[in-house]
Structure 1
Amino acid sequence: MALPIRTLIAHCVNQVIRQYYPRQYSSLCHVYAIVGSNLISIVLDRVYRPVAGLAAVDCGGGQLMTMLDNAAFANPAGGSYHCWIESADDLVSEREVVDLTFRHNHTYAEQNGFRWQRALPPDFLWGQQSSIVVRAPLHAIPRAFPDGMVWLQETDEGWQWMMRQLQEHQSAFVTLTSEALKLFQAHLAPDSSLLAHPPATQTPASLLMAAV
């Protein structure tokens, strides 16, 4: 049975990144965000962009895994932050948020000293911002979230860091996007009309961002 389009996109991005980075894939949120935003933009013929900033994840049992190290974006050694995807056009009334790394939350949490005490997370989050992102200021993040929700906040430092990633590693991201697109096309039914014509969005948002 054919997978829903969103599920297929998430699957293809995950498969390609795990193939290229079999050991560190669960910590490569920026790669998921960049390759994912490219593939979504191509398949849906819309504009999506990779986003970098701060995040918090409810691990259950009163444990909140926070990724709030904004200074990490200027630290060559890295640190604790998060990357995700957002729609960047006006074709819908409310911004969409996509997190293709959500499937790895329990693994990442346990690797960082947290005991996961919730049901296993869904493979990805994708929907209107109000249904996915917990609304709260940084100083008042609640200790527990509803299922399928996460706290996110883009920062200027995250934006600048993402621009550097796009500019410095553009060739690698083009290769990964191409591989993900090939895998996506391989899963389409022979009579599928999806991608039968070149999309109006010829250049994914992340590549346009890199050229700024």
Structure 2
Amino acid sequence: MNDSAESAPKRPDPQEIRGFLHFPGWLTAPEQQALVAQIRAVVAAAPFFSPMTPYGKPMSVRMTSAGRFGWVSDRRGYRYSETHPSGTPWPAIPPMLTTIWNAVCGTDRQPECCLINFYPEGARMGLHQDRDEADFTQPVVSVSLGDDGLFRIGNQTRGGSTQSLWLRSGDVLVMGGPARLTYHGIDRVAPGTSTLLPKGGRINLTMRVVT
């Protein structure tokens, strides 16, 4: 028997919630630690920055990106850019993340952007759609690290009933098909629910095809 196959962790089956596929505990604790190390290398090359909305209001999250494109926001609007606000190209997407993408999303295309959001205690993200990409047939794949985040799922238009889900460290979430343009957001982060990040907080990694 192949030793590597024998030692590979068993991955969870997905749970479907309003069209989202939730894989709880996809990453083991050692894998989470290894991924954090890869993210730290990205942040060293492309430091976190505090984005501004087009309306002049600062976001409560800090962000950076990896891949061909990164997502930026300022008074000129929400958009993808091939360079960090400093003017340097974005680092490559960590290989652990492309492995997850290939395992869960069922598309032949590779992600062109991994948006890295850091949520300190008190940060949130209001309900929104991911619609700055060119091809909505391609999914968005999310990986959670650190403290639990209360994820809210809405509808394809504003208003109506919503459903909430706690995303925990190591969870993977796929937003594709009819759910690709569903409104979603993070209501709050539960401090102290994970010891993965020494200073606490939550990291959310979202991979997407841009072009």
Both structures adopt the same fold (TM-score exceeding 0.5): no
- Higher relative contact order at CA 8 Å, sep ≥6: structure 1 or structure 2? 1
